[in-house]
Amino acid sequence: MSNAPIWDTGLIKKYDLSGPRYTSYPTAVQFREDFDAHHFESSAWRSAAVNNPLSLYIHIPFCTHVCYYCACNKIVTKHKSKAEEYLDYLFREIEMQAELFGDNQLVEQLHFGGGTPTFLTPEQITRVMAKLRKHFNMAVSESMDYSIELDPREVDWVMMQALRDQGFNRISIGVQDLDEKVQRAVNRVQPEEQVRSVLDAARTMAFNSVHMDLIYGLPFQTVDGFLNTVDRIIDMAPDRLSLFNYAHLPHRFKPQRRINDADLPSAEDKLKILELATKKLIDRGYVYIGMDHFALPDDELATAQETGTLHRNFQGYTTHSHCDLVAMGVSSISKVGQVFSQNHVGMDAYTAAIDAGKLPAYRGLMMTREDEIRQSVINELICHFHLEKANVEKKYDIVFDEYFADALEALIPMREDGLLTLTEKDITVESKGRILIRNICMQFDDYFQKQKELKLYSKVI
């Protein structure tokens, strides 16, 4: 509850600029295509040498239907045969990736994302899990974190039981909005009964955690309408909840061209929706984790934030900062040690690389020492709203105020606006600044400061 933000509309409008979401630092726009894949292989061997635990990500790119708001890398098709072709290549990549790591490296976290992972049949998901168990040391324990993203339109109790049988203990449900008019406008009609059915199955089968996604800024959304959705979601009591901002970029994402600009809520209405939805969630007992994430007080994210162990990566907020992330499938992004590696985003290039016997990476980045230092600062601020300068100085042998002199000077106007407190010892993000945490982190982002005129990112609110 101590992290609850204070809403100041004037300050939010002042600082509502474009900036990264910091699921990584450096962000993916800094990845280079002249990246040497041997850096990733070497980092994987070092990970194996010290027996580091692993987090696996599996990308399933297929969707049966196109959601007009979507900006994900996906393939829209009703032909299930596409999945069989894809799995052949995914299995070969699993084999290649596993060869780089040690047999004893425990997989503590697994996430299936997409696309729509449940485009696969229960039998196909069983085969993927069997393949992973054959080539990786998959933990068998309820303390492990095995999650999957679900589209409630395509999940029944048979699928839910199959997922539970395969060890999944967390689900993430894409809800977006329960208003039927909004759903029709974005081509995602899913009655509340479908969402509740998935939720009932998860609780009956003793899944550990349920996460739900909502999106604000969609066509025909109103303040009252969205708050009605929030009330109904709170009644379902998901363990975690996200409020994502819809970024309307039809020049970049073709499906968004089916959304009429005139149907979108105004900027003022979007701010009001976010303000009142945030307040309602906090008033009803949810903890504000940061940015767009909320959790019940007994959830692992809330606990990790209290104990100072929360982390952020490509899967959002996580409690597995000590794991190396090995991502497989088209477009997926790995981070092993200090090396990022992204697979080809196009299916033809992805399959061609595997046919040639190569890892299907096409770009990446090897972090410098400066990247590491700035990453540690940004992660502390975005996860815990507080940073002790001495911890950074001790770990990296620097004088914080000298190293970050430019960033600290840039924070002075924010301090004067009440967003944060600066002392000789620490930086504390105040209640007014928590909704604008991305803006604060941007001051420590050396890449952003050099490229902010390129408009590579969406608005922070």
Give the model confidence (pLDDT) of 68-103 as tens digits. 999 887 899 988 889 999 999 999 999 999 999 999
**CA 310/CA 301 separation, integer angstroms:** 7
CATH architecture, domain defined by 30-326: Alpha-Beta Horseshoe (3.80)
Query: What pLDDT, on the 0 to 100 scale, is given for residue 2?
Result: 57
* Amino acid (one-letter) located at 15: Y
The answer to whether 43 and 336 have CB atoms below 8 angstroms apart is yes
Extents of the domains making up the chain = 1-26+368-461, 30-326
Instruction: Print burial letters for 233-265: b (CB count within 10 Å at least 16), e (below 16).
Output: bbebebbbbbbbbbbbeeeebebbeebeeeebb
The answer to whether 152 and 115 have CB atoms below 8 angstroms apart is no
Domain 1-26+368-461 and domain 30-326, same fold? Reply is no
One digit per residue, pLDDT tens: the chain, 461 residues?
Answer: 457 899 999 999 999 888 888 989 999 999 999 999 899 999 999 999 999 999 999 999 999 999 999 988 789 998 888 999 999 999 999 999 999 999 999 999 999 999 999 999 999 999 999 999 999 999 777 778 999 999 999 999 999 999 999 999 999 999 999 999 999 999 999 999 999 999 999 999 999 999 999 999 999 999 999 999 999 999 999 999 999 999 898 988 899 999 999 999 999 999 999 999 999 999 999 999 998 899 999 999 999 999 989 999 887 898 888 899 999 999 999 999 999 999 999 999 999 999 999 999 999 999 999 999 999 999 999 999 999 999 999 999 999 999 999 999 999 999 999 999 999 999 999 999 999 999 999 999 999 988 876 667 777 77
**CA 70/CA 189 separation, integer angstroms:** 14
Distance between alpha carbon 415 and the CA centroid of its chain, in Å?
29
Give the model confidence (pLDDT) of 189-209 as tens digits. 999 999 999 999 999 999 999
**CA 53/CA 107 separation, integer angstroms:** 6
How close are the terminal C-alpha atoms of the chain, in Å?
A: 21
Cβ count within 10 A of residue 443 = 19
Query: What pLDDT, on the 0 to 100 scale, is given for residue 220?
Result: 98
Half-sphere exposure of 64 (CA within 13 A, CB side): 14
The answer to whether 417 and 11 have CB atoms below 8 angstroms apart is yes
What lies within 8 Å, CB to CB, of 170 at 6+ separation is 145, 146, 147, 148, 207, 208, 209, 210, 211
**Topology classification of domain 1-26+368-461:** Arc Repressor Mutant, subunit A (1.10.10)
